[in-house]
Amino acid sequence: MNLSLYSVQAFVVLDTEGNRVLAKYYRPKSHPQGESKDLLTLKEQKAFEKGLWQKTKKAGGDIILYDSHLVVYKHSLDLILYFIAGPTENELMLYSALTSLTDALTILLRNALEKRAVLENLDLVLLCLDETIDDGIIVDTDSAAIASRVSRPRADTTEIVINEQTLMSAYLTVKEKMQQRIGQL
Q: What angle do CA 151, 154, 159 make, to 5 degrees?
A: 125
Tell whether the model's pLDDT for residue 161 goes beyond 70: no
The topology under which CATH files domain 8-151 is Beta-Lactamase (3.30.450)
Q: What is the pLDDT of residue 37?
A: 67
Q: Could you say which DSSP state residue 70 is in?
A: E
Please give the residue that has the higher pLDDT: either 167 or 16.
16
pLDDT at 28 over 70: no
Task: Indicate if the pLDDT at residue 34 is higher than 60.
Answer: no
Percent of the chain with pLDDT over 90: 20
Instruction: Considering only CA atoms, give the Rg of the chain.
Output: 25
pLDDT reading at 82 higher than 90: yes
pTM, full prediction: 0.74
